[in-house]
Amino acid sequence: MALYRHSQSLHAAPEPTADYIALLEYASNLVPSALSGEIGNKLSLAYLKSGNISLARDKAGSDHDRLAKSFEQNPKDPNARREYATNLRILGQIRLRERNGMVSSDLTRAISLFIDSSKIAAEGAEDQALSRTDRKLLYILAKESLIDCTRALMMLKTPVNLAKAENIATRAIEFAKQAASLQ
């Protein structure tokens, strides 16, 4: 736990360093299962940002079934919901980066993953029983997933997909406003 916090406070940067990735890898082997989803997602993102798409895909893919099962067992748990939705978003980002978004089937699959991620996060954010912080984090995740979806739709460059992108961007703005209202 302390190692993970150290990696977040001292080594997290827009471009992940080798030290940051090494700390996350080590922490992921030591941490209790309560944080393993969060650390796994951070590690997948670090791999993706550093350009190591195959490691990102392997890590996110290996975590996917476990996170899905955790979410299905307890859909009211905001952490399980957020970790699973984040994993779906990361898998979508990996799909876009694998072949530089040039294959329409990859784009379509990425769009589907972004929409699923946003839907799961938004459904959780609407639960009034959750804390304001949990609801805010879920709305932010839903917004970010829709922004990714908008970008992917715009890559398809058809009038229909551009219209869909505009509608989805409008929904992302609504989620951003709802997140801001929970401060």
Q: pLDDT, tens digit, for every residue of 73-124? A: 999 999 999 999 999 999 999 999 987 767 788 899 999 999 999 999 999 9
Indicate whether 92 and 67 sit together in one domain: no
Helices of type H across 50-103: 53-73, 78-98
Indicate whether 179 and 106 sit together in one domain: yes
Select from 73, 93, 122 the last residue of a domain: 73
33-49 helix and 78-98 helix, angle to the nearest 10 degrees? 20
Indicate whether 31 and 116 sit together in one domain: no
Select from 50, 73, 96 the last residue of a domain: 73
Residue 149 pLDDT more than 50?
yes
Indicate whether 69 and 150 sit together in one domain: no
Positive or negative: CA dihedral 59, 62, 66, 69? positive
Indicate whether 94 and 62 sit together in one domain: no
Structural contact between residues 143 and 171, judged by C-beta atoms closer than 8 angstroms:
no
Residues 6+ apart with CB under 8 A from 117: 85, 86, 88, 89, 92, 141, 142, 145
pLDDT score for 14: 64
Q: How far is CA 179 from CA 14, 111, 154, 165, in A?
A: 23, 23, 25, 21
Q: What percent of the chain has pLDDT over 90?
A: 67
Indicate whether 105 and 138 sit together in one domain: yes
Indicate whether 160 and 97 sit together in one domain: yes
Give residue for tokens 């959780």.
Answer: 124
- What value does the mean pLDDT take over residues 11-39? 70
Indicate whether 52 and 99 sit together in one domain: no
pLDDT score for 104: 83
- What value does the mean pLDDT take over residues 116-137? 96
Angle among Cα 85, 90, 96 to the nearest 5 degrees reads 130
Indicate whether 42 and 97 sit together in one domain: no
**Counting Cβ atoms within 10 Å, is residue 97 exposed (0-12), middle (13-18) or buried (19+)?**
middle
Q: How far is CA 116 from CA 129, 131, 140, in A?
A: 22, 23, 15
Select from 49, 73, 97 the last residue of a domain: 73
Q: Which residue range is the domain that position 163 belongs to?
A: 80-183
Task: Decide which of 30 and 160 is more confident.
Answer: 160
- What value does the mean pLDDT take over residues 34-41? 77
pLDDT score for 101: 64
> In total, how many domains does the chain have?
2
Structural contact between residues 22 and 10, judged by C-beta atoms closer than 8 angstroms:
no
> Does the predicted model carry a pTM greater than 0.85?
yes
Indicate whether 164 and 117 sit together in one domain: yes
Indicate whether 116 and 27 sit together in one domain: no
Task: Decide which of 177 and 8 is more confident.
Answer: 177
pLDDT score for 1: 46
Q: How far is CA 10 from CA 17, 21, 39, 71, in A?
A: 11, 12, 15, 31
Length of the chain counted residue by residue: 183
Indicate whether 100 and 169 sit together in one domain: yes
Residue 9 pLDDT more than 50?
yes
